[in-house]
Every structure is written in structure tokens, then in C-alpha cells.
Structure 1
Amino acid sequence: MFSIGDFAGLGRVSVRMLRHYDAIGLLPPAHVDQHNGYRSYTAAQLRTLNRIVALKDLGFTLHQVRALLEDKVDTGEMRGMLRLRRAELAAQVDRDNLRLAQVDARLRMIEIEGHMDTGDVIIKSIPPLRIAELSAVAKSYDDPSSITENLTPLYPRLMELMERAGVPMTGSPIAYYRPAPTGPEDETITVHAAFPIGDVEVGPDPGFDVVVLPEIEQAATALHEGSMSEAFRTGQKIANWIDDNGFRTVPPGYAREIYLDCPPDDFTKWLTEMQVPVIR
């Protein structure tokens, strides 16, 4: 048997918390001394305590925890629930890290406002391009995490389908975007993952779409170095150039992205050409 203090230490919870669990009938001590009221616990009760803490970490209220314990959640179910919660938390950490990186990048942008060099923006024409593509819907063009979550998985799937259909890619990966509104307040966009395929013949029902991207008579283009989560830096540069040179964007104004070099293990070394259609 262990005193409440020793049991709290072993379970890495506070004595106050154990008293609360006792008060609500969630984890009563194994023994209470009738004379001095001291609580004592057994080693076996640590299993119950571990389950309580784990279920709390999953987001359950103490009332829900008690109901689950009464239903006798077994070790396998608990392991599965914890793994699911771990995956959710890891995804949240990734999203938060992405937001933090974006905040840092925007702070750097603010620091150089008014001193941005637009000399490497080039105006050029983009010929029609026949592509194989897959598409998905993302929350918003302003939500990089949603774009990444929906766009990135399309490329390996598209490569698999193209290989199965015997269709080789003839150029760098491409991403482009189109509005996908279902109402006046809808900001969702369709994200397209594509590979150029030239004039290669494609059989029926390959599992992907074959389309021809139309010619862009004039595009303001610039190279973006680094993660696409910071693509707004280059977008700002292009916007400044457009404004300074008397151009305006062609609606909807989204940039086409050509991924020239994409080391899978180092986003900081990515090299992407951003192409924004413009007119005078």
C-alpha cells in the first residue's frame, strides 16, 4: 500500500487531484484509516489512474471518463484511442508550426516593405500545355495548410496512375487553382496537381483527367526559393511589379506554380516558378 503522497508521485499527478478523484467517486483509495482519515492506494490502482489521465488527455470530461471506466475499456481499445489522439495532436503541431513559420515570414516581409527588389520579375508568354491532372477542394487560397493537405497527396497518386497507363511525364510538376464557390460566402478553391504529357496518347479511363491549359499571352513570372508556405513573399514581389509597371491581373488572379526542383527532404531548397497572368 502507498500513502496518497507516494501514490501521487508514482502516478505523476497532484495530491489535490487524487482527492478530487476520490470525492467524485472516480478513484477512491483502497483503504481509508478510520482514525486519522489517511488514504492508501495499491500498485494495481496505478492502471486505473493511467487510464483516467489518458482519457482526459483524449479530451474526455471526468464524467465521460467514469462512464468509460465503468464500461471497462480494455488495453487494446485504450491503445487505439491514444494512437488516434496522438496522430491528431501531431497534425495540430504541424499546423501550428506552419502558422508560426508564416507569421515569421510575414514579419520579415513587413520589415522590408518599401525596399523590395522586383528586378527579377520577368514578363513572358506561356504556350498551351497538355497535362494529366487530379484535383481536390481546399478551404481557401489563403489557407496554406489546407492547400498542402489536399494538393500534396495528389502527386504520388497521379504518378502511380500515369505509370499504370503508360503515360510518361514530359516536364516539371505543376499546380494551379480555380475558384470552387457554392455560395456567395464560399472561399473554397479547386487545387489541381498536374504533369505535362505533350502529345502522348492516353487510353480510355486512365483514372486521371487530360486537359489543355490555355495559352497565357502575358504572365508576370518570378522564381520562388524555399517552402511554398512562404509563397506569398514572391507573390508580393510580383504584385509590386504589376502595380509599378501598369499591368493588372487576369481574374481570378491565382498564380500557376511550376515546381522546378523539389528535394523531398528539404523544403528550404525548393525552386518554383510562379506565373501570374496579366494584361495592360
Structure 2
Amino acid sequence: MFLLLKIGEFSQLGQVSIRTLRHYDEIDLLHPKLVDEESGYRYYSVRQLEVLAQIVLLRDLKFSLKEIKNLIQQDPKIFTAALLKKDREIEKEIQRDQFRQQQIHQMIQRMQHKEKYQVTIKKIPVISVVSLRKKIKSFYHEGMLWKEFMEQLKKQEISFPADPDQNLTIFHDEEYLEEGVDVEVAIISNKKAKEPLQMRQLPTLEHAAIMYVEGNYHQLPEAYQAFAKWLDEHPEFEMVKATRQICHVGPEHTANPEEYLTELQIPLIPLTLT
């Protein structure tokens, strides 16, 4: 003999509305243990509360009702495997949300410190470099280009400088591109190099706008926006292509992206104002 609960009692104990219980019955998800033929009253067993709790949990975990119906009829091992898979998905969602939350906090900080990007003008003398220039899939693939570059340097017995100020990245495109980005990675060196590497001199920049960006690379677009504002306020200069970036502190120096320090060198030409 087992205790039967009226649908109202079952609803209260299971924290699910009567309307929802009737819907679960209609879709063959959870049937009453007994339906009185004369009155039509629905009765549930106490043991069905555990099944209902599983349904509620799976629903809250964003399983579809169809998936729930299949899972509660499966072997416990299959049920457990499905829960573990969902656990991994939730962990990924948490990581994505944490990243979004970090971006929100960073944006708030930037809004509160709009003048953090200071622009200075300086002359950069001619530099001899050994470099590797390629079109890469996207900006996010720059690290792979550096890896290939360093392998070629090692193969050609050219030492990679310990000083981070001795390496730089040059972006040759005249516009922002989502893919097929023309990028050159280089080290300051007088060593002779063979293809695919090249040895060349970077010309003197008589006027270069210098900006330092502290923090992860996601701030670079904002830094360029700050430069655009500066350029608008200084009509005596015009920007030219081949922006250089020097990574003073980057992924190879620290595991914390907030400790990165990037120097932007943006070539300028003075204009004659009338």
C-alpha cells in the first residue's frame, strides 16, 4: 500500500502548478498514479515527487521537454552522462559570462578614465630589422606568425632578443580587415637572413604619434579611437599607413593580460595649414 496525494497536494509538495502537471500528463511526461473514473480526480504517489524533482531540475538546466522525457526513462548511467555533459556546457557558459563581465568592468573603468591614452610626438630613427611578412587569417593569428618567425630565426641561427623593446609588429593594410591581414613581425638586428625572412631598414619616422596601452589587447580599438579624437583636435597632422606595435609586456612575459604593455607608433605627416 502506498500513499496517494491529490493533485493539489502533489502540486504544493512538488512546487509545480496544477496546470503544469496536467500538461506533463498530456505530453506523456508524468502521468498520475491513479485517475478516479467517476470523479476524474488525479492522484500521485509520494515516490513520484522524486521524478517530478528530476523533471524540474532538468527543465531549469534548459533541457527540452522532449529531452527530459527521454532521459528519465533511461538507464541511470546514461542519465548521469547527460548531466555531466550539461555541466561542461554550463562551465563554458560561466567562462563566457565572466569574460563579458570583465569587459563590462573594463568599459566602466575606461569611461571613468577617458584621458588615460596620452599621445606624444617623437622622431623614430632608421632601424635595421630581420622580419617575416605574411597575410594571416586574422589579427588573432598573429601569435602563430610569431611562432613561425621564431622557428625560422632558430633555423638560421639568428638570436631572438631578450629585450622586448627589440621586437615589433607592423600592420601594412590601409584599412581594418577581418581576414587576410598583411602583417610583418620583426626584430631589431643587423644579421643577414635568408628567405622567407628578410633583412631591411625601416625608414626614419620624422613624426610618430606614440601611445601606451596598459592591459589586454581588447583595449586596442579604444586606444585607436582615442587617437582618432586626438587627430581631430590636431589638424596639423595626417595619419599614414604602416602602424607599428611594440609589445613591452605580453603573453610571453606574464599570464595576466591586464599586465600587458603595448606601445603604438603611428606615422604622421605634417600638413601646411592655410
The letter of the residue matching 2:42 is G
**Quick check: 2:150–2:160 contact (8 Å CA) kept in 1?**
no
Measure the CA separation in 1 of the matches of 2:200 and 2:73.
60
* Counterpart in the other structure of 2:260: 270
Shift of the 101–117 alpha-carbon distance from structure 1 to 2, 3 Å rule, reads: closer
Q: Give the deviation of 1:131 after TM superposition.
A: 3.0
Could you tell me which of 237, 258, 269 is aligned with 1:279? 269
Could you tell me which of 49, 53, 60 is aligned with 2:55? 49
Shift of the 176–230 alpha-carbon distance from structure 1 to 2, 3 Å rule, reads: same
Which structure 1 residue ranges, 5 or more long, are not aligned? 139-146
Q: Within the alignment, does 1:257 sit opposite 2:245 as a pair?
A: yes
RMSD: 4.8
Secondary structure at the counterpart of residue 231 of structure 1: helix
Secondary structure at the counterpart of residue 55 of structure 2: helix
Shift of the 228–102 alpha-carbon distance from structure 1 to 2, 3 Å rule, reads: same
Measure the CA separation in 2 of the matches of 1:87 and 1:211.
45
Q: 1:193-222: per-residue Cα shift (whole Å, max 9, x none)?
A: 846273567789xxxx63557625323222
* Counterpart in the other structure of 1:39: 44
- Structure 1 segment 91-240 matched on structure 2, within 5 A: 91-97=95-101, 99-101=103-105, 103-105=107-109, 107-108=111-112, 118=118, 120-125=120-125, 127-131=127-131, 136-138=136-138, 147=139, 150-151=140-141, 154=144, 157=147, 161=151, 165=155, 168-170=159-161, 171-172=163-164, 174-177=168-171, 179=173, 187-188=178-179, 190=181, 192=183, 194=185, 196=187, 198=189, 210-211=197-198, 215-218=202-205, 219-240=208-229
Measure the CA separation in 2 of the matches of 1:223 and 1:97.
24
Which structure 2 residue ranges, 5 or more long, are not aligned? none
**Quick check: 2:247–2:263 contact (8 Å CA) kept in 1?**
yes
Shift of the 134–17 alpha-carbon distance from structure 1 to 2, 3 Å rule, reads: farther
Larger Rg: 2
Measure the CA separation in 2 of the matches of 1:163 and 1:47.
62
TM-score, normalised via structure 1 length: 0.61
The letter of the residue matching 1:269 is E
Secondary structure at the counterpart of residue 256 of structure 1: strand
Q: 1:82-137: per-residue Cα shift (whole Å, max 9, x none)?
A: 2552354145324523542454255336x65xxx8856343424524223578743
Shift of the 239–189 alpha-carbon distance from structure 1 to 2, 3 Å rule, reads: farther
The letter of the residue matching 1:28 is H
**Quick check: 1:52–1:65 contact (8 Å CA) kept in 2?**
yes
Shift of the 186–258 alpha-carbon distance from structure 1 to 2, 3 Å rule, reads: closer
Shift of the 186–201 alpha-carbon distance from structure 1 to 2, 3 Å rule, reads: closer
The letter of the residue matching 1:37 is R
